[in-house]
Amino acid sequence: MRRLRENVNRRSVLKAGALVVAFSLAGAKVVSARVLVRDGAGGDASTAKAIGGFVRIEAAGRIVLVMPSVEMGQGIYTAEAVLLAEELEVGLDQVDLVAAPPDALLYAQPLFKAQLTGGSTSIRGFWTPLRQAGATARAMLVAAAAARWSVPPETCSTDRATVRHEASGRSLSYGELAGDAAAGPTPTNVPLKGAGQWKLIGRSVKRLDTPQKVNGQAVFGIDVVVPGMKIAAVTMCPVDGGRIASLDDRATRRLQGVRDVLRLEGVVAVVGDTYWTAKTGLDALLIEWDHGPNAAVSSETMRSKQAQASSSGKPIAGLLLGDVEGAFTAARKRVEAVYELPFLAHATMEPVNTTVHVRPDGCDIWVGTQTPVVAQTHAARILGLPKDKVRIHNHLIGGGFGRRLQADTIEQAVAFARQVDYPVKFIWTREQDIRHDRFRPSYYDRIAAALGSDGLPVAWTHRVTSGTVRQYFDEGGWPQGRLDKDAVNGAWDTPYDLPAIRVDWVRHDPPVKLNWWRGVGPTHNTFVVESFMDELAHEAGRDPIAYRQALLGKELRSRAVLDLAAMKAGWGTPLPPRSGRGISLHKNFDTRAALVVEVAVDEAGSIQLRRIVAAVDCGIQINPDTIRAQIQGGVIFGLSAALYNGITFAQGRVQQGNFNDYRQMRINEIPPFEVHLITSEASPGGLGEVGTVSAAPALANAIFAATGVRVRRLPIDRAMLAARTN
């Protein structure tokens, strides 16, 4: 790959001939595939309406692949480029990659029917459409070459951006054929390669974004520089919902290099020639805050109200199968437990930043966002502009984890930028990024099982109590009484055969704004389900692996990863005192994954990770190296949260602010980590969230095996572990 570029726009497409292939929202039908050619007078000879599809081949020979998903470090640019290049018959060294502009028709994620990157859906949604785009473009180029040579298309072959006719020894480059392809029809239902023909899919290819990230040429949102740009530092009321009571900015305005002091209801921005100037000016402000209605909010009061809601709130049905009540009445034994999970921040390595230039006739925004159409729509609404007058320049993101799904930070920047006539880059500090995040919901789960004579569950109930992220994401909020499926994902779709099951949700919205977090609903629910499954195995006096195996009659793929992980981890072999292994199993995002974590816990409650073994069946593997990296990164992310992370409130304020009190695992804490992949012909599954979902329950179960202490509340309380020994 020669370079990563900014997103495509109509003007850049029209400057040179280009074969453009795009797909409809459904992701299954070609809606535009034609060559764009400028005539001698400079006019546009194309009437194509769908400008900026997945594939552009310019007359000069440049091949551009448009990436519908956003690169956040998960390797999606490389994976999606592989799908396009595979069918287009080009090398990854022959293409440029650009980020897709906001366009819900062309670039909507087929599973969401919206243009966003999240939920481990990118490959699942674009597995077929991107290959179809590449195959369609290749077929058009072959047809153009065959017509020029007066030979049947089936006698031509393609390789490395060249069409060849072996019988005559003739060849033409894709660029040379781009103009001729304009006169031909757009083919439909072009056959895709079979697995035996793949040259790129299934191979561990090098990440296309790595070289520029290593040599410093990669441009993240925070790296953006535009002519005339100033830098702004912001300060916000420490309590969400508060406002400015009084502001004295005289000392700030006297500082050399300070250009403006801007105000919104609960936020102040100081604009300077440099960030240091802006931050210095910010520190010189004299602000008194009205802390507003949330000034008394505390973790203790929110936890108490959530527990009360679990008992007294009206449940919304998620899943009901079998005679649950009858099975509990007839059962030999009933086991029940309560699990609690905290609010979590995203704590991405790249803090919040947005660069905005508002003009009378339009607006440009340079940012890294997982939802470009949402960002464009909200900015246009604030400015009173048509959507097409707001241009989003999407960039590489230094970690998303769901934070960049929300447009609140972009809205804030646009509301400030409309007050000045020059471009401004707004940067949050690390403390602001954590304390003013939109947090992963806290959860309070009540779970119970009725056990039969063999110790296996004959009935199962699981009640989730939480707020809904949809209240802050969907236009108009989320209707009362309507199920938020994310709240029960991972609870109503376990891999186990449960004869009778009831899963429901009690909606309890806290006075805290919410957002999705890596692993979404399954991260929370799999922790509860897999921890409780371990409790049941212990109650039945059975080995945790054997107990799960007995419940996997129809889930052969889940049984395979469970068996493989156990075997590779040496399950059942002796360990030293206060050491233990824990297992987790789940089938979320169309992927099956099992994880074994081995720990040692000393007498003081300190936890040492000794070994991690994962087994994964994600269907067809696009890039095995990236699969392993995603599992490793996801597990470490999830273990960091389980070991160290929780957002707490006192007097309305978030008590954490940086990596000293919201810490992440360090490299010296990472043990040997094996990832074993199962070859599969199933459609590709998701990966970005899978490891995070697996992490906490495997760790908690390992701690129980080492200490006899059951972890039902996160993050893990080490004092509790020191209180007991086996």
* Ranges of the chain with pLDDT below 50: 1-2, 8-17, 23-52, 725-726
pLDDT at residue number 180? 84
Element (H, E) at 580: strand 579-586
Residue position matching structure tokens 């406002």: 243
Q: State how far the Cα of 347 lies from the Cα of 434, in Å rounded to an integer.
A: 6
CATH class of 300-343+439-722: alpha beta
**What contacts 16, CB < 8 A, 6 or more positions away?**
36, 38, 58, 59, 60, 62
What's this model's pTM, rounded to 2 decimal places? 0.93
Burial class (CB in 10 A: 0-12, 13-18, 19+), 648: middle
- At a CB cut-off of 8 Å and minimum separation 6, what does 434 contact? 345, 347, 647, 654, 656, 657, 658, 662
Q: Report the pLDDT value the prediction gives residue 32, as an integer from 0 to 100.
A: 29
pLDDT of residue 162: 97
Q: Which CATH class is domain 4-212?
A: alpha beta
Say whether 507 sits in a helix, a strand or coil: strand
Bridging pattern class, strands 4-5 and 95-99: parallel
Given strand 579-586, what is the order of strands in its sheet?
A: 579-586, 592-601, 607-617, 673-677
CB burial of 253-266 (b: ≥16 within 10 Å; e: otherwise) equals eeeeebbbbbebeb
What does the block give as tokens for 533?
Answer: 């499954």
pLDDT digits (tens, 9 = 90+) for 342-364: 999 999 999 999 999 999 999 99
**What's the burial of 10, exposed, middle or buried (CB within 10 Å: 0-12/13-18/19+)?**
exposed
pLDDT for position 29: 32
Q: What's the pLDDT score for residue 51?
A: 27
- Please list, in sequence order, all residues whose beta carbon lies within 8 angstroms of the beta carbon of residue 95, skipping any fewer than 6 positions away: 1, 2, 63, 64, 65, 81, 84, 85
For residue 332, count other CB atoms closer than 10 A to its CB. Answer: 11
- Burial-class residue 393 by CB neighbours within 10 Å (0-12, 13-18, 19+): buried
Closest of 699, 714, 712 to residue 601, by C-alpha: 699
CA atoms within 13 A on the CB side of 79: 33
Q: Largest Cα–Cα distance of the chain, in whole Å? A: 87
Per-residue burial over 420-429, b = 16 or more CB atoms within 10 Å of its CB, e = otherwise: bebbbbbbbb
Q: Which helix (H) or strand (E) element contains residue 485?
A: helix 485-488
Rounded-to-integer distance, Cα 695 and Cα 682, Å: 24
E strand or H helix at 318, and its extent? strand 316-321
In angstroms, rounded to a whole number, what is the distance separating the alpha carbons of residues 106 and 9? 13
The answer regarding whether domain 221-292+352-427 maps to CATH 3.30.365.10 reads yes
DSSP-derived pairing of the beta strands 63-67 and 333-341 = unpaired
Omega prior to 715 cis, within 30 of 0: yes
Q: What is the DSSP string of 35-63?
A: EE-B-TTS-B----SS-S-SEEEETTS-E
Place of tokens 């629910």: 525
Length of the chain measured in residues: 726
Q: Which helix (H) or strand (E) holds 608?
A: strand 607-617
| Separation of alpha carbons 282 and 607, rounded Å | 42
pLDDT for residue 636: 98
* pLDDT at residue 464, rounded to an integer: 98
Domain boundaries, the chain: 4-212, 221-292+352-427, 300-343+439-722
Q: Which amino acid belongs to residue 136?
A: T
Name the DSSP letter for residue 667. G
Q: How far is CA 25 from the centre of its chain?
A: 20
